[in-house]
Amino acid sequence: MALASFSLLLLLVVVVPSSVLISTVDSQTDGCSVDPSSVLPSAFTAAGLSCRPVWNNFILRYSQDENHVLTIVLSTVYTLGWVGIGFSKDGMMTGSSAMVGWIGKTGIPHIKQFYLRGRSSSEVVANEGKLSTTNIAPVVVVYKANIYVAFQLNFSTAVTTQNLLFAFGSSIPVNNRLKEHNDKTSISFDFSSGTSSASSYPYQLKRTHGILNIIGWGVLLPIGAMVARYFKRSDPLWYYIHAIVQLIGFIIGLAGVVAGVALYNKLHADVSAHRGLGIFILVLGILQVIAFFLRPDKDSKFRRLWNWYHHGVGRLNLLLSVVNIYLGIHVGSAGTSWKIGYGINLSVLLLTGVVLEIFLWTRWSQKTSIPPTF
CATH topology of domain 203-367: Four Helix Bundle (Hemerythrin (Met), subunit A) (1.20.120)
Rounded average pLDDT over 286-293 = 91
Q: If you average pLDDT over every residue of the chain, what do you get?
A: 83
Burial of 281 (0-12, 13-18, 19+ CB in 10 A): buried
How far apart are alpha carbons 187 and 55 in whole angstroms?
A: 9
- Lowest average pLDDT, out of 116-125, 196-205, 208-217, 331-340, goes to 196-205
Please, what CATH class does the domain formed by 18-198 belong to?
mainly beta
How far apart are alpha carbons 149 and 167 in whole angstroms?
A: 13
**Three-state DSSP state, 200:** coil
How far apart are alpha carbons 301 and 260 in whole angstroms?
A: 41
How far apart are alpha carbons 72 and 187 in whole angstroms?
A: 16
Neighbours of 178 (CB within 10 A): 23
How far apart are alpha carbons 314 and 311 in whole angstroms?
A: 5
Q: Given pLDDT bands bounded at 50, 70 and 90, which one contains residue 279? A: very high
What pLDDT shows up at residue 321? Answer: 95
pLDDT tens digits, residue range 188-202?
888 888 777 766 667
How far apart are alpha carbons 110 and 123 in whole angstroms?
A: 20
Residue range(s) occupied by CATH 1.20.120.1770 in the chain:
203-367
Contacts of 338 (CB under 8 A, 6+ apart): 210, 329
**Phi, psi of 155, rounded to the nearest 5 degrees:** -130, 150
Q: Which of 161, 162, 170 is nearest to 79 (CA)?
A: 170
Strand 69-77 with 146-154, pairing: antiparallel
DSSP letter string, 72-106: EEEEEE-SSSEEEEEEESSS-STT-EEEEEEE-TT
Q: Given pLDDT bands bounded at 50, 70 and 90, which one contains residue 368? A: low
**Three-state DSSP state, 154:** strand
Length of the chain: 374
How far apart are alpha carbons 246 and 208 in whole angstroms?
A: 20
What pLDDT shows up at residue 371? Answer: 57
Residue range(s) occupied by CATH 2.60.40 in the chain:
18-198
Q: What percent of the chain has pLDDT over 70?
A: 88
Q: Given pLDDT bands bounded at 50, 70 and 90, which one contains residue 259? A: very high
- Whether the per-residue pLDDT at 9 is higher than 60: the answer is no
- Whether the per-residue pLDDT at 117 is higher than 50: the answer is yes
- Whether the per-residue pLDDT at 6 is higher than 70: the answer is no
Rounded average pLDDT over 265-274 = 82
Q: Contact at 8 Å (CB) between 161 and 88? A: no
Rounded average pLDDT over 10-14 = 34
Q: What percent of the chain has pLDDT over 90?
A: 32
State the first-to-last Cα distance of the chain, in angstroms, to the nearest integer.
90
What pLDDT shows up at residue 286? Answer: 94
Rounded average pLDDT over 323-348 = 88
- Whether the per-residue pLDDT at 25 is higher than 50: the answer is no
How far apart are alpha carbons 280 and 220 in whole angstroms?
A: 19
CA 295 to chain centroid: 43
Write the DSSP symbol of residue 228: H
pLDDT tens digits, residue range 34-62?
778 888 888 887 667 888 888 888 889 88
Rounded average pLDDT over 350-358 = 92
pLDDT tens digits, residue range 135-178?
888 999 888 888 999 999 989 888 888 889 998 988 888 788 88
Rounded average pLDDT over 215-244 = 92
Question: Omega before 17 cis (within 30°)?
Answer: no
Q: Given pLDDT bands bounded at 50, 70 and 90, which one contains residue 317? A: very high
